[in-house]
Structure 1
């Protein structure tokens, strides 16, 4: 892929700045007011009547994790916020939880005047999606869960940091690290087994959005306390576990073949999927991808986009 070159801003209106990247869709970076501050939102405009996708990212990610899917959904409006405590939304104040994120998503829909959207969520974003769809079913026509949303409890006596290091490993370790420059941060992720075959502008821009500070002391934009609060809620709140079983909107779960560190067994082993009583949730196995490449890799993004297109079809 060519390295995108941002052209001069154009189309300024109501405080919004539209940018064009070489070989990329037009997008807008917009600030949306929520409780505690301003949420940073990346929006890819679509064709009138084509529908809207609202996308929530994972626990230490940011909205640009959806860039590849947005490219594959050319013509469809895609709206992807940096959730509070991450990316360019790191300074939004207040406690973080699935319910707080659900409130923020509703504020984003209201800001753009979207009455109904397909809601997509990756990893922790899947839990956010389940809670949001349960709370406001009239605003979401379909829920697309990408390797997330189905809960598995952890021991009550286990420290949440231990759980996070065990489950997400390097994604948690980065919170205590500093990097001399962007290249060093990219190299850190290039050594991650799940990122070994990932690259290109989507991954580069996603990683760059996760950096704050100045060289040679760059660090992750993720606020550690927000990560801990969300992990406690995601992994130990019975109401969050129950949300996927209480959905009143059509939903589908895409589960990756391989795991968070590219292990042969994914986040959801086949036995877990088979044993889960998911009711109205359609389950789809996605071979050849891991927990990250299902969204950040070209093949994975194309698959996710195809399911979203199906979710946007008129209801029978």
Structure 2
């Protein structure tokens, strides 16, 4: 069957949430809801979707990102979780598997806590469990410590798409994993700035708000304390700049698993925080785990 891709808008508080859907018309195909990271968009899931024929992938642009960047009202884990609930209702999605990458994993945990009847299993990809950030940091310091240059680009302006792609071609995370799908994802990230240039769709303010909430708010810790869904947690050895040890060092991951023994942890090799979903090897691996989780659903 031919794989199709479309987008639709789902009404949520403050406006419309853009949602991407990949499907091929397979009768009875299961639906997986996929949630992207802090400065990403639904197109981060392209390669994973392509590796999953016979599975419908539903992936929103979280509020403040992509084509959901004009939504009014605050962000934060609870707001994103409630937006996901609206997507489930709008598309009549049965309870199943929710997959989150990076900040999307934290959103997925909050969703499981606030709307437990809407899902059955969780897959957290290099995110979701508390990060090892120093205590006492300001919001700006948290963003700098976790995201570094990823946040710096949000204030930059670009004359055209080619200039933005050139910035990313020099990025160490994608030195060996540049694809046409990545170019499409990056081009989609740009919106007019009102002055004749282009800017990333995600605002620094929204990134700051979400980063502070997932690190110092109670949404994530409350969700983990009440976790009642089978949860699988994948980590990789390198971070946003392809640096070791990444967001979760082996020592920190071991402490988390000891604290949350119901969470099943796996550490993969040879991938970084981006390429675990946005490279062909990473996408194939995530797709294989998704199929295992769907099989567990029966």
Q: TM-score range by the shorter chain?
A: over 0.9
1:301 aligns with 2:286: no
SS in 2 for 1:291: coil
**Partner residue in 2 for 1:37:** 15
SS in 2 for 1:183: helix
Name the CA distance, whole Å, in 1 between partners of 2:221 and 2:132: 8
Q: Is the 8 A contact 1:245 1:279 kept in 2?
A: no
CA change 1:315–1:40 in 2 (3 A) is closer
Q: Is the 8 A contact 2:96 2:297 kept in 1?
A: no
**Partner residue in 2 for 1:236:** 216
Deviations 1:260-298 (A, max 9, x none): 211121210001111122222111111110000001010
TM-score (norm 2): 0.93
Measure how far apart 1:88 and its partner are.
0.4
Matches of residues 61-100 of structure 1 in structure 2 within 5 Å? Answer: 61-100=40-79
**Partner residue in 1 for 2:249:** 269
Name the CA distance, whole Å, in 2 between partners of 1:123 and 1:71: 20
Name the CA distance, whole Å, in 2 between partners of 1:252 and 1:231: 22
Q: Is the 8 A contact 1:181 1:216 kept in 2?
A: no
| Equivalent residue in structure 1 for 2:86, among 107, 118, 134 | 107
1:280 aligns with 2:262: yes
Name the CA distance, whole Å, in 2 between partners of 1:78 and 1:290: 23
Q: Is the 8 A contact 1:87 1:210 kept in 2?
A: yes
Deviations 1:49-107 (A, max 9, x none): 22111011111111100111000011100001000000100001110011100000010
Of 29-38 and 193-202, deviating more is 193-202
**Partner residue in 2 for 1:161:** 140
Name the CA distance, whole Å, in 1 between partners of 2:7 and 2:151: 27
Name the CA distance, whole Å, in 2 between partners of 1:78 and 1:113: 14
Name the CA distance, whole Å, in 1 between partners of 2:217 and 2:138: 15
**Partner residue in 1 for 2:173:** 194
Of 186-195 and 236-245, deviating more is 236-245
**Partner residue in 1 for 2:273:** 291
Measure how far apart 1:165 and its partner are.
2.0
Name the CA distance, whole Å, in 2 between partners of 1:194 and 1:241: 30
Name the CA distance, whole Å, in 2 between partners of 1:263 and 1:154: 16
Name the CA distance, whole Å, in 2 between partners of 1:271 and 1:243: 23
Name the CA distance, whole Å, in 2 between partners of 1:146 and 1:100: 21
Name the CA distance, whole Å, in 2 between partners of 1:250 and 1:100: 23
Measure how far apart 1:167 and its partner are.
1.8
For structure 2, list consecutive stretches of 5 or more residues without a partner in the other structure: none
Higher helix proportion (structure 1 or 2)? 2
When the two chains are superposed, the root-mean-square deviation of aligned CA atoms in Å is 1.7
Q: Is the 8 A contact 1:62 1:87 kept in 2?
A: yes
Name the CA distance, whole Å, in 1 between partners of 2:53 and 2:225: 32
Name the CA distance, whole Å, in 1 between partners of 2:229 and 2:222: 15
Deviations 1:128-174 (A, max 9, x none): 01111122222112101000001136455422122212221221011
Q: Is the 8 A contact 2:131 2:247 kept in 1?
A: no
**Partner residue in 2 for 1:12:** none
SS in 1 for 2:248: coil
SS in 1 for 2:154: helix
Of 84-93 and 276-285, deviating more is 276-285
Aligned residues: 293
Q: Is the 8 A contact 2:31 2:55 kept in 1?
A: yes
Name the CA distance, whole Å, in 2 between partners of 1:151 and 1:166: 14
